[in-house]
Amino acid sequence: MTPRLRTAHTADLTAAELDAAHALLDDAFEGNFSDEDWDHGLGGVHVLVRDERGLAAHGSVIQRRVLHRGRSLRVGYVEAVGVRLDVRRTGLGGRVMAELERVVDAAYGLGALSASDEGTALYLARGWQRWPGRVCALAPEGVVHLPDEEGAVFVRPAPDTGALDAAYDLVFDWRDGDVL
C-alpha cells in the first residue's frame, strides 16, 4: 500500500485521528512530548500520512507572530513533526514537510520552526535556514532573550517578506511550556 497523505484543519479531524497523532508523537519523541507540546500543534493545518499499519507520520503548521525590525510578521510555525519508528528514513518526513511548506509558502510571510537535533538534517536538506541571530520572546514581563533556543531555530522567508536581518532579534509571541 502506498502511504496516503491527508491535509486537514484541527477542526476537521476526528477525536480518533487526534488521539492517534498524539500517540504517534509520544512514541516518536520517546515520551518527551508534553501536553503543552501537543497543544502547540493544534489550531492549524495538520498533515497525516497513513500506511497499512495506521498513522505513520504527522506534522502541523500554526499561526504565530514574530517581531522583527519593527514589524509584526505573520508566521507559519511548524510543529509536532514526527514519524513512526519503523518507517523512519523512508521519505515520509519529507512528504509531510513538502505539504507543510506548501501551506507556509501560500499563506504566510515567513515559515519558522525549532528543530530537535534529530530533525535538523531534514530541515537543512529542504532549504530551511538556521537563524544566525538572537532569539527572544515577548513574555508577560517584556522581551526576554532565549539563548538556549539559538541555533535550533530555522526560517523560511517568503520572497515578499523582505530580507531578514540577523542584526535584529526574532521576538516570538509568548506561550505556555516551551516557547519555541
Q: What does the domain layout of the chain look like in residue ranges?
A: 4-173
Least confident span in 6-10, 79-83, 105-109, 145-149: 105-109
To the nearest 10°, report the CA torsion of 12, 16, 21, 25: 150
Confidence (pLDDT) at 158: 72
Number of C-alpha atoms within 13 angstroms, CB side, residue 135?
Answer: 19
Neighbours of 60 (CB within 10 A): 25
**Distance separating alpha carbons of residues 83 and 165, to the nearest angstrom:** 33
CB 48 within 8 A of CB 14: no
Average pLDDT of the residues of the chain:
95
Grid coordinates given for 44: 492549524
Instruction: Please report the pLDDT score of residue 2 as a whole number.
Output: 83
What does the pLDDT average to over 22-46? 95
| Whole-structure pTM value | 0.95
**Beta carbons of 46 and 58 less than 8 angstroms apart:** yes
Question: In the CATH scheme, what is the code of domain 4-173?
Answer: 3.40.630.30
Alpha helices in 55-142 (DSSP H): 92-107, 120-125
